[in-house]
Structure 1
């Protein structure tokens, strides 16, 4: 009985937000506090459920009810729709629900009142995210992907304003085009293989005729473009900085995980479908991922250095994070997978916290203060005869807390020791320079050295840009105004950063989990067998 109850937990992260979104719609918008409380309670329950699922996944396949496969309608794969839980999907579920919980708590201070149906859209976004991480077939991936995107359109436009509307309309147009490519790619793959179940597709690809294999590769390339648009790979990322910088803080924070949906799907398909067992299609698209990933790092690094506004700096940091992960996948070195997964978690938590922090820091600043600060640096704006201000003036408590959070964000984004940003980058480089056996060196190519250089330079650029912004904001602020910050706003920022600090102190257990996740990804046939041989409920 307990096993059956745990088995049904797999569908709860999708079903509960969907039901709550429907319940919240007819409630009057004047009851936003009630709607916020219901939505927050739903997200909290989902977070607790995902923590339980992650614990079960960490214990191994034998601890997962039903083997981690949930058959909707009790139809087995590949004929029926299945949800699949493993260490990777559990990790992404927990990360997404944690970010959603922090963003929703932050929004209840004031941002959820800026427009209609904020909490309903937010719950739909959560349901779409969780469905995308759990689904086992490409068509339902499209369904959940569209649910997530439809909710994100409304959330990005939430709060109106000319800049937000302009960026939002660009975002809608680009993602609608990506959705069309998604459908075309799925159609080509189904026409060649007769299946859309990812586990079944992995077993069939090696047996296809050459002309059918080329059709699958074409479909995969079209599908890849759709997800690379979402992941923000250059040159498909031109829409992202403006859209993320224009979004309201809680929306921008939860959007930090949206780019990782594209990376998750690319990683899942690359490791499951296009590994060694794929025959002639093994490693398909790997060189493109490497080249595009490194160009994305370079583009994001230039954007970080050029950004004067903190919102755009954070948006370009998203591109640096995406490029780092895409290039790591493209290098095709299994030893780097664990470090890449740790980097994914650390960078996503940090960027989400930074997006929330930006609004708090800039609340007391005048519009155009950054531009004025740059002008003063270039031309000077001081009187030599003016007496210096008193040295050692006490820092107000609010500014001290905001400054501490900003410093933690700067250390994490720059990859400086001893926090998780440094540990993740160190794990990536260790995997690049070390072979599968201890102390076994492997040849390092020019592409590998380029990746190392970009990884180091992107961290240096982040440190320079964040130091520059920090000095202008906290040390040499023009206004000298102390922003008013309430507890419900600073607490989510502190919790996200505390999670990164906790990840730093628990790097050993975290890396063991990431390594076990990487080992699962490196055994695609085991995954396929588990999905395709899962028994029906009732032993039928």
Structure 2
């Protein structure tokens, strides 16, 4: 099973290579490869999650030495419950998004499938790597692919937003390099486990430089997590992207939050000596400011896609603020909230595209600047009663009788999940966070920051932003559904309805299985807040003996020697 840890990185890399070598005209073959590879990636991620939770021992840790060199000198992949959870979440959203893209959007530009798989490779590598430099490498692979995906479909709005997106992420990458270089100069290592072991040993006169390096590095991740006031790029960029790309990007902000959570609990946990819990209040304040900004923005939004963008900001701020307290129970509740809210936002991006097409009767798939989508030539622009098949041929479409009901029900479920209203997973996650805030010293809590004023502020924001989200999404639902009585029934492709339904059913399943899911996130949280477990698992991992060393090892029975 440890060798399977390579698959989330190697599988999309191999698929990207295959699709790149194929002619651009073979779109259907590329689409099939993309879907099959992403589905296999989801199966691998589920297998890794089950292994981390049930078969990897009490620690739930798996370590793979790629070059067969011991840490901290060699490249190392590390799997625990948190990274496995993020792999499953990424693969599930990616599979739904690529199926949705198969109806039309994958033909909007060149190399969509190659870029898509490289994006998945970068995401998986970022979640699995145990080395700061390799984290930078996977970040750049992920971002380079995201640049192409954001520009997929062309158009003035996408190009303008894409250039802003590229510029801000290049600045964040520069800060990443500066912070990592400073940390290496202070500690002499970039391995995450070795960094965690080195931080308590830093000389007092170097603590200021250490904290400055950590702050610069954290700023890079906060930019990627779209934390206020560094989030001005997100809404224009995500709203300009095509629907499946926007759904996949719903996980992008969580990568920054994941990295912050991973490094902060390792380097500045309660065992970090003079640096213990360094930066926690800043994470709490930044997260709550992002929540407030997201709540205001979602109330001011008129278009469904903008609602999805501000919901992504709100979710990112909630996760970050809860992380900064350093409490086991609060972190566990946050980890339960994270997948449900992310899947709900991804579904909302897909629904926004369908609703916009329905609102315009399928005749105005246009960019924000009013230009027609460039991949639709005049003879291929859908007209009432017509749509496109996989061969880009105009044909008479059969309307799904329940299409409007599917859109309305999907919107309702998204609203409940994002707003945190009962009975779905958003409510369970928020209720668990509220319980942890009101009972900070409950069973299983660690000696993190005590809530106090900050806790009550977060509690207030959780309730207030939920109400604002509910109002905004209800208002948009009334405008797009109740006020649409004179509008023709929407025409949906089956492959457009299935991904939305799958994401929302996953949120329902997360609600029905809330008890085992919360046990899982509690175990993941306990592991996060016990960094010594991670440190020992990585630094004690030993390379496999080669033929020469096996022959010289007296511990190996003579009969087994070559």
Among candidates 295, 299, 310, match of residue 301 of structure 1: 295
Query: Displacement of 1:39 after TM fit?
Result: 1.3
User: For residues 151-176 of structure 1, what are the alpha-carbon distances to aligned partners after superposition, in whole Å with 9 as ceiling and x for unaligned?
Assistant: 00000000011111111111001001
1:538–1:436 Cα change, 3 Å: farther
Counterpart for residue 388 of structure 1? none
Provide the rounded CA distance (Å) in 2 between the counterparts of 1:238 and 1:344: 22
1:225–1:443 Cα change, 3 Å: closer
Provide the rounded CA distance (Å) in 1 between the counterparts of 2:275 and 2:48: 33
- SS in structure 2 of the partner of residue 291 of structure 1: helix
Q: Does the CA-based 8 Å contact 1:103-1:254 persist in structure 2? A: yes
Provide the rounded CA distance (Å) in 1 between the counterparts of 2:33 and 2:59: 30
Counterpart for residue 3 of structure 1? none
Counterpart for residue 317 of structure 1? 311
Provide the rounded CA distance (Å) in 2 between the counterparts of 1:446 and 1:436: 16
Q: Does the CA-based 8 Å contact 1:361-1:402 persist in structure 2? A: yes
Counterpart for residue 345 of structure 2? 351
Provide the rounded CA distance (Å) in 2 between the counterparts of 1:399 and 1:435: 45
Query: Displacement of 1:127 after TM fit?
Result: 0.3
Counterpart for residue 272 of structure 1? 266
Provide the rounded CA distance (Å) in 2 between the counterparts of 1:496 and 1:261: 19
Counterpart for residue 505 of structure 2? 498
Query: Displacement of 1:357 after TM fit?
Result: 1.0
Counterpart for residue 110 of structure 1? 104
Query: Displacement of 1:396 after TM fit?
Result: 5.1
Among candidates 6, 15, 31, match of residue 11 of structure 1: 6
1:416 aligns with 2:428: no
- Aligned runs of 1:335-484 on 2, under 5 Å? 335-366=329-360, 397-438=402-443, 445-477=452-484, 480-484=487-491
Provide the rounded CA distance (Å) in 2 between the counterparts of 1:359 and 1:498: 19
Counterpart for residue 380 of structure 2? none
CA RMSD of superposed structures (Å): 2.0
- Aligned runs of 1:90-109 on 2, under 5 Å? 90-109=84-103
Query: Displacement of 1:426 after TM fit?
Result: 0.4
Counterpart for residue 524 of structure 1? 531
TM-score, with structure 2 as normaliser: 0.88
User: For residues 438-478 of structure 1, what are the alpha-carbon distances to aligned partners after superposition, in whole Å with 9 as ceiling and x for unaligned?
Assistant: 599x9752211111111111110111011111111111128
Counterpart for residue 27 of structure 1? 22
Provide the rounded CA distance (Å) in 1 between the counterparts of 2:166 and 2:456: 38
Q: Does the CA-based 8 Å contact 1:202-1:273 persist in structure 2? A: yes
Counterpart for residue 114 of structure 2? 120
| Higher share in helix | 1
In the comparison of the two structures, how many residue pairs are matched? Answer: 509
Counterpart for residue 140 of structure 1? 134
User: For residues 2-37 of structure 1, what are the alpha-carbon distances to aligned partners after superposition, in whole Å with 9 as ceiling and x for unaligned?
Assistant: xxxx22100111011111111111211111000010
- Aligned runs of 1:184-333 on 2, under 5 Å? 184-333=178-327
1:439–1:69 Cα change, 3 Å: closer
Provide the rounded CA distance (Å) in 1 between the counterparts of 2:365 and 2:471: 21
Structure 2 regions of 5+ residues with no counterpart?
Answer: 369-399, 550-562
Counterpart for residue 389 of structure 1? none
1:112–1:63 Cα change, 3 Å: farther
1:76–1:439 Cα change, 3 Å: closer
Counterpart for residue 52 of structure 1? 47
1:57–1:454 Cα change, 3 Å: same
Report the more deviating stretch, 36-45 or 140-149: 36-45
Counterpart for residue 486 of structure 1? 493
User: For residues 272-318 of structure 1, what are the alpha-carbon distances to aligned partners after superposition, in whole Å with 9 as ceiling and x for unaligned?
Assistant: 11012211111111111111111101100000000011111110011
Among candidates 148, 151, 158, match of residue 164 of structure 1: 158
Q: Does the CA-based 8 Å contact 1:139-1:186 persist in structure 2? A: yes
Counterpart for residue 391 of structure 1? none
Provide the rounded CA distance (Å) in 1 between the counterparts of 2:488 and 2:136: 47
Provide the rounded CA distance (Å) in 2 between the counterparts of 1:538 and 1:39: 37
Counterpart for residue 385 of structure 1? none
1:144–1:418 Cα change, 3 Å: same
Structure 1 regions of 5+ residues with no counterpart?
Answer: 1-5, 372-394
1:239–1:448 Cα change, 3 Å: same
Provide the rounded CA distance (Å) in 2 between the counterparts of 1:191 and 1:176: 23
Provide the rounded CA distance (Å) in 2 between the counterparts of 1:165 and 1:520: 43
1:79 aligns with 2:85: no
Q: Does the CA-based 8 Å contact 1:335-1:434 persist in structure 2? A: no
TM-score, with structure 1 as normaliser: 0.91
